[in-house]
Structure 1
């Protein structure tokens, strides 16, 4: 088991082992992870935290010290955690968070301080935040493309959209317009809701009045089940599409019968058993799911567990390269990790094969996605063509 420290953000100063950061400069690599283990995004953050139990205890012969803090999905908390990782724990690497707004906040801190950062939720990149940050989840355009292609194949002409009233909702809404428009998909209604909302009845009634052929839900975690259930309860009969932010067993549990027939883009970690042996994502996907389900029960696998697990798969490739140039705990080591993220290619992980560049901070291609539906309460892989 890794040397893990789980704590609330406010207790970081009291964490054992943080009072002597100089030890980390030669004897260990410090990795700080901020994610949402409480709050509305806990269904995403808890699997991300749990997956850390199955990652290496050392890389390149150097022990890892992993600190996991809860930010409750709040960008302010995530910012505080990131700054404490840097100033008090002298972190060599930062990861997080579980949702887009706090991930952007962590990226800002990491790029200001010059510390490698692995985002665990899709986020928009700007020149100010692309030098030190990479993102583990699949980029929206890759995941959206397979959904819009399915819509076109099924003669969908008009589409309604309901998504979060934050940056994740914006990313999907903008992608629907950018990729769906050229395919002939007409956007006829747009509605938004906040992550903590417990009702979307008003938004759903407006969508129903527009009578779209299909509806795309731009949400994540268990909250993605709210519009799904409300649409079906109110009698909507058209196709409903969900993003990879909803790809978890909890979605089916919460949505119940309303989940039947949903069309969802997902990372391959949700169904590695069906991949050919030549798929580079199959072995790490099976390794993660086997370990995860052995501890947390059958069908507990999660796309979100794959994000944090895969960050360590990447580190297994880049840290040995960085150690040839500098020692942990130094700016030179952090710079060496940054450079190795770009120089190392075809890094196989459970959710995709990573090839980061200076401008492509996701580093993924079509190998990072599958198409799912729900049948009889279980996920079933759909062919893309």
Structure 2
């Protein structure tokens, strides 16, 4: 178990974090664990303590960590996890203990449809349906009429597939087949051969981190020459390094952080991105990736909600935890690395099309795709 604690022993506000710093989700969880050192040590005059645990990309371990943080450490806010399957059990734990949860995972099912449990959960990563709709609209504009699907066999992949199956026909695109694989799989040869046999004009891969390399690399090695579309889960240096020339040209809809260098001067997204990069470099002496920004953004939302919550109760009390939840729900026009956040009682993700950018991996660098 990896534990990182930052802040004074008598910090007023306790933040519990569980991320997938090892296992199949390590390419997401490692930069998040490293980001802990870049988080603010004080907000609104209150000292902050962070207790960060590694859930090893395992839902059972994630649930154990969450219970330890909520019940033993009595944290005011729970953050995590990196992966959708690990995050889903945390929704129940947060609701049972009336502790606000800020998840770093992507699946829309974590926050929708809204109910008594999900009202305690908030999601800093844009919903997969927002990104899926943006990339599908782009694919439709290119004239593609048939597209095959390969995705991970968990909530992340299934969420994307459902959106694709619903939207593709409306855009005049026929969705061919459905092949799935586990994030820990070492080969997808069978799935790729079946996909190629369908002769799709394009292939959509729903995966994240380094596991997303496997199907694209196999497709290219087997001679598939059509366009390959991915998800915002690939925006890491590890994906680029592992995939090499085989992943170059991948197109996806992603967050402002990934292409901040290509945004015009004065763009409001640049400010928060610059702040995060500077804080991370100061802490780690290296550049961050988008997955670490998920954690940084979560604390930006907390910082925005904290002043109001402090008026309702002291940290460590049920009143304070409830007030944080209420304040998070009222988030308005907060620019994050992940997008422009505007939440409501019915929407605990809070993004719209302004938060979806078309991105292409071009010669090893993620670039804003120009229409």
**1:81 aligns to what?**
65
Deviation at 1:280, TM superposition (A): 2.7
Deviation at 1:279, TM superposition (A): 3.1
Deviation at 1:293, TM superposition (A): 4.7
Greater mean deviation of Cα atoms: 349-358 or 84-93: 349-358
**Following the alignment from structure 1 to structure 2, what is the Cα–Cα distance between the partners of residues 293 and 199?**
36
Deviations 1:304-333 (CA, angstroms, capped at 9, x unpaired):
111100001111110111001110000000
Task: Please say if 1:189 is aligned against 2:173.
Answer: no
**Following the alignment from structure 1 to structure 2, what is the Cα–Cα distance between the partners of residues 91 and 359?**
25
Deviation at 1:343, TM superposition (A): 2.4
**1:369 aligns to what?**
356
Whether contact under 8 Å (2:7, 2:48) holds in the other structure is no
How do residues 90-129 of structure 1 correspond to structure 2 at under 5 angstroms?
90-123=74-107, 124=109, 125-126=112-113, 127-129=115-117
Task: Please say if 1:53 is aligned against 2:37.
Answer: yes
Q: 1:295 to 1:236 in 2, by over 3 A?
A: farther
Number of positions where the alignment pairs a residue of Structure 1 with one of Structure 2: 367
**Following the alignment from structure 2 to structure 1, what is the Cα–Cα distance between the partners of residues 140 and 348?**
29
**Following the alignment from structure 1 to structure 2, what is the Cα–Cα distance between the partners of residues 296 and 203?**
39
Task: Please say if 1:313 is aligned against 2:300.
Answer: yes
Whether contact under 8 Å (1:318, 1:337) holds in the other structure is yes
How do residues 235-274 of structure 1 correspond to structure 2 at under 5 angstroms?
235-274=223-262
**1:149 aligns to what?**
137
**2:12 aligns to what?**
28
Deviation at 1:278, TM superposition (A): 4.6
**Following the alignment from structure 2 to structure 1, what is the Cα–Cα distance between the partners of residues 137 and 331?**
32
Whether contact under 8 Å (1:130, 1:359) holds in the other structure is no
Query: Structure 2, unaligned stretches of length 5 or more?
Result: none
What TM-score results when the alignment is normalised by the length of structure 2? 0.94
Query: Structure 1, unaligned stretches of length 5 or more?
Result: 9-14
Deviation at 1:47, TM superposition (A): 1.0
Task: Please say if 1:7 is aligned against 2:3.
Answer: yes
**Following the alignment from structure 2 to structure 1, what is the Cα–Cα distance between the partners of residues 261 and 244?**
24
Deviation at 1:77, TM superposition (A): 0.5
Secondary structure of 1:339 counterpart:
helix
**Following the alignment from structure 1 to structure 2, what is the Cα–Cα distance between the partners of residues 16 and 173?**
39
**Following the alignment from structure 1 to structure 2, what is the Cα–Cα distance between the partners of residues 382 and 118?**
30
Runs of 4+ in 1 over 4 A off after TM superposition: 15-18, 293-298
Q: 1:59 to 1:293 in 2, by over 3 A?
A: closer
How do residues 181-330 of structure 1 correspond to structure 2 at under 5 angstroms?
181-293=169-281, 300-330=287-317
